[in-house]
Structure 1
Amino acid sequence: MPQNHVFVFLEIFSCEGGIQSYVKDILRTYSQIDTLSADIFLLRDRASVGNPFASERSRFHYCKDRSPRLGRVKLAIALFTHLLKHRPDRVFCGHILLAPLIQTLCKPLGIPYTVLTYGKEVWEPLPSGKQRALQNADRVWAISRYSCDRACAANGIEPNKVDFLFCAVDGSVFQPQAKDSELLRKYQLDNCKVLMTVARLWSGDPYKGVDVTIRALPQILRVFPDVKYLVIGRGDDQPRLAKLAEDLGVSDRVVFAGFVAAEELPKHYCLADAYVMPSQEGFGIVYLEAMACGVPVLSGDADGSADPLQDGRLGWRVPHRDPDEVAIACIEMLKGEDQRCAAEWLRQESLAAFGKPAFVQRLKELTGL
């Protein structure tokens, strides 16, 4: 008889991001395993036509309401009713914001629950209610060793109750290809060495490293005068970043591409000679996407990127707010002499650890299959 699981998420379809990508990988894997059955409750999503994950074994329950408060009430009632009637084998709490509700409903019924964690939302001490919900969870999933360490230290979680489910990349989607001539013309990148970042440009989280990379450009230009920096993403921090480039005299070297649809990302990655994001990430799926395309990568050295970059074996890790160190690493990457610039080796090594088959196998292990 299939294991019956319940997932509760904030949203999957109403916005895009690293968390949503990770969640979709989990649901996609579930749909491929005959011995698993799941009910998925969504707080902020409405029923969507053509949901690719919906099936007889993956049933979706949408709780969005015009009033956020009523939406939360609707979720609580629907979930409690389902738990009473079906007594699932386990509930997976998809965000720390939902953890107090899950604890309240599951503990009296004796239903074990797992809390999924991603990054910064659990790196600092949480309010007491959320902290208790984490501490009382039967298991906690983390996407990186760094996030696990930070969450455990800040919130009193026993490390032995934490399991790792790292992010994954689809090597059949992200793969090396020739630079697209139309995109080269569109962004005026012909005959240029190209640095690239894919990131949300949000003033509330300015530490993706775009500003640091812009500050590094004058030094890089002294060695590679033909370099350009392609920034993919949108957000309210773009005017500040554009002003910084202007103040440093490198505005003609920085190209803000704006939003790029997910299906267009692989050929954008392949425009790059180096992927540069000296950031603080819970994990950093973008590093895997770049490496699967054969593009060398640079990350910060104090975050979850240690896992996709395998502690520096697959890429450059530098102090994330240091333009000088970023410049030095970028110059090495653009020279292309290091093993970490070997496109086929880079792709092979990253997919071996973080390709979709490895993700499926790990999820089977965590669900006891």
Structure 2
Amino acid sequence: MHILTLATLFPNSARPNFGIFVERQTAALAARDGVEVTVISPQTVPPWPLSRHHRYRTIATLPEHQSWHGLDVYRPRFLHIPGIGVHWQPRLLARAVLPLVRRLHRERPFDLIDAEFFYPDGPAARIIAHALGLPYSVKARGADVHHWGQAPHTREMVVQAGRDANGLLAVSSALKAHMVALGLPADNITVHYTGCDQQRFAPQDGTALRAELGITGTMLICVGALIARKRQNLIIETLAILPDATLVLAGAGDAEASYRALAMRLGVSDRVIFAGSLPHDDLPRWLSAADVMVLPSQSEGLANAWVESLACGTPIVISDAGGALELLTIPVAGRIADANPQAIADAVNAVLALQPDPLAVRACVAQFNWDRNADELHRHFQRILGC
């Protein structure tokens, strides 16, 4: 079985945490006997002079072909104009990638195309698959369907890519229901929960890190990009109701400046630590040190940060987004809170009052591992290929 994995969401040396769950899933699949995977991770590049922006200069330095943590990865560039022309992305991506795919397909034929994000990967995979006469699968992860499946200029492409696919994956049952509501066939959608490195993400003593950070009271942590959809502003506002709590924001993004200004305006800036985008392998000690992980996202599929926090024995307080109800099945795991500071504060206090045993919290996600994830993905591809 030779799989072409098409993934705009995939780590590189400039963004080592970007889509790391796609990398881990792909590596686990590639480790299966009889499976070969080639990854194509297209990189957007705007026209000059926008291409001189530091964000895109780093892309220009990436090798176009390399072995990345044991995976064979190609990174072709395709044109993108930031802020406009989003509806052109699938065609531009497919046009840039097709010559490479044709060459690789001649050298070692692919059996199936695996698109790891619904937009622009899904519609682009549809174009490439039709050109080569191959079956294709698309995985939905959350915002890729919630946003691009609703946006007027991209909705039709998302739906068409989903309807024509030979198989679809969704990271939660809730996301599958959303896809069906968009008009995608329910019998073609398989729920495919994420994995987690259960050896790396495990409870550990966080005393030293808390001392290093100068935290003596409650430690809250939020793991996620600092963007409007994650709504970290609500957690900052919650600090006014939790006077002994300190919040660690583990992530980076466009909203950081506004979040810093909000913390200053509310007089809680001394209790908000902007930790930046932490190395993924360093996350377990930060999660273990925290009392609660809080993530009041507007939309999610089933966030890896939820699973990783629970695996570290740290309960979570999250919004009713995506697969939240599928994960929080017992009280020690955490609470689902309405999207307002008082509700979040009440949920945090309720979790703290339980004094949950980290091992009991961890047991909630024992089934989330990359071996199980890879086995299910392998079976999904076998069904499509009839083998």
Where in structure 1 are there 5+ consecutive unaligned residues?
none
1:46 counterpart = 2:63: yes
- C-alpha spacing 1:342/1:137, structure 2 compared with 1 (3 Å): same
Report the more deviating stretch, 80-89 or 284-293. 80-89
**Residue 216 (structure 1) shift:** 1.9
CA RMSD, aligned part only? 2.7
Contact 1:46 1:64 in 2 (8 A): no
**Residue 246 (structure 1) shift:** 2.7
Aligned residue runs from structure 1 range 253-332, under 5 A = 253-279=271-297, 280-310=299-329, 314-319=333-338, 321-332=339-350
Provide the secondary structure at the position in 1 that maps to 2:157. Answer: helix
Contact 2:4 2:113 in 1 (8 A): yes
Which residue is equivalent to 2:50? none
Aligned residue runs from structure 1 range 206-225, under 5 A = 206-221=228-243
Which residue is equivalent to 2:122? 99
Which residue is equivalent to 1:152? 180
**Residue 11 (structure 1) shift:** 4.7
Which residue is equivalent to 1:229? 247
Distance 1:145 1:312 in 2: 21
1:196 counterpart = 2:190: no
**Residue 130 (structure 1) shift:** 3.6
Which residue is equivalent to 2:51? none
1:244 counterpart = 2:262: yes
Distance 2:301 2:212 in 1: 33
Distance 2:20 2:229 in 1: 21
Which residue is equivalent to 2:59? none
Distance 1:281 1:201 in 2: 14
1:172 counterpart = 2:199: yes
Contact 2:332 2:361 in 1 (8 A): no
Which residue is equivalent to 2:76? 63
Amino acid at match of 1:187: L
Distance 1:105 1:65 in 2: 15
Provide the secondary structure at the position in 2 that maps to 1:220. Answer: coil
Amino acid at match of 1:158: P
Which residue is equivalent to 2:134? 111
**Residue 71 (structure 1) shift:** 7.0
Which residue is equivalent to 1:345? 360
Amino acid at match of 1:62: R
Which residue is equivalent to 1:361? 375
- C-alpha spacing 1:265/1:105, structure 2 compared with 1 (3 Å): closer
**Residue 174 (structure 1) shift:** 1.0
**Residue 310 (structure 1) shift:** 4.0
Contact 2:236 2:263 in 1 (8 A): yes
Distance 2:173 2:202 in 1: 27
Provide the secondary structure at the position in 2 that maps to 1:270. Answer: helix
Cα deviation digits, residues 309-334 of structure 1 (max 9, x gap):
34877321112x22111111111122
Where in structure 2 are there 5+ consecutive unaligned residues?
44-61, 82-88
Provide the secondary structure at the position in 1 that maps to 2:184. Answer: coil
Amino acid at match of 1:354: F
Cα deviation digits, residues 176-228 of structure 1 (max 9, x gap):
111142x3343221x221111112113xxx1323211122222223xxxx321
Provide the secondary structure at the position in 2 that maps to 1:229. Answer: strand
Which residue is equivalent to 1:10? 8
Amino acid at match of 1:299: I
Provide the secondary structure at the position in 1 that maps to 2:201. Answer: coil
Amino acid at match of 1:122: V
Amino acid at match of 2:140: T
Contact 2:3 2:37 in 1 (8 A): yes
Distance 1:218 1:11 in 2: 36
Amino acid at match of 1:259: S
TM-score between the two structures when normalised by the length of structure 1: 0.84
Which residue is equivalent to 2:28? 29
Which residue is equivalent to 2:46? none
Cα deviation digits, residues 254-283 of structure 1 (max 9, x gap):
222223222221111122011111213121
Aligned residue runs from structure 1 range 78-97, under 5 A = 78-83=100-105, 86-95=108-117, 96-97=119-120
Distance 1:251 1:356 in 2: 38
Amino acid at match of 1:89: D
Contact 1:10 1:42 in 2 (8 A): yes
Amino acid at match of 2:324: S
**Residue 110 (structure 1) shift:** 3.9
**Residue 66 (structure 1) shift:** 8.5
Number of positions where the alignment pairs a residue of Structure 1 with one of Structure 2: 348
